[in-house]
Each structure stands twice: as C-alpha cells, then as structure tokens.
Amino acid sequence: MPNPKRKHTPHRRDCRRSANSKLNIPNTGKCSNCGAAKMPHRVCPVCGFYNSKLIIAKKIKKVAQSNTEQEG
Ligand SMILES: [Zn+2]
C-alpha cells in the first residue's frame, strides 16, 4: 500500500478545511412587493409578483380562500 511520505502541515490542513467549508449563498434580491428574499429574475415565491406586477395569482387566491374558509 502506498503511504504518504510526510504528514501534512497544520497550515496545509487548515487551508484545505477553510476552502472546503466556504458556503456559497446564492444571489438573492428583495421582492419589490413583499420584501422577501428571492432569486433575481424570478417570480417571488411568496407573493407571485415580478417587476412589481402580479404574475402568479393562484397562490394568493389559495391563501385568500383558506382565510375566508377559516373565518366563515
Ligand atoms: Zn414577494
């Protein structure tokens, strides 16, 4: 079995760990309507708005219906 000739130095070990532990958080923008974090150039998953226009109204309707059902 081939074995490593020398033990890696703590510097090399720590450099490797620091490079591998970096978490890449995807770019997020704020929704112009509700202010939630969303992916740029995509419809807001919370309110369904894009470019301050309502694109997906189903989610809001479902929420509104569920609210009215709970109330009534
Ligand atoms: Zn939104």
The string of pLDDT tens digits covering residues 37-51 is 898 999 998 888 898
Residues with CB under 5 A from ligand 1 (ion): 31, 33-34, 36, 44, 46-47, 49
Query: What's the pLDDT at 3?
Result: 92
Distances (CA, A) of 65 to 12, 47, 55, 71: 59, 15, 18, 10
Tokens (6 digits) for 25? 């958080």
Average pLDDT, the chain: 81
54/13 Cα distance (integer angstroms): 51
Residue 60's pLDDT band (cuts 50, 70, 90): very low
Q: Decide if pLDDT at 13 tops 90.
A: yes
Share of the chain above pLDDT 70, in %: 79
Model confidence, pTM: 0.45
Q: How far is the centre of ligand 1, averaged over its atoms, from the C-alpha of 11 (Å)? A: 45
Tokens (6 digits) for 35? 């202010």
Q: How far is the centre of ligand 1, averaged over its atoms, from the C-alpha of 59 (Å)? A: 11
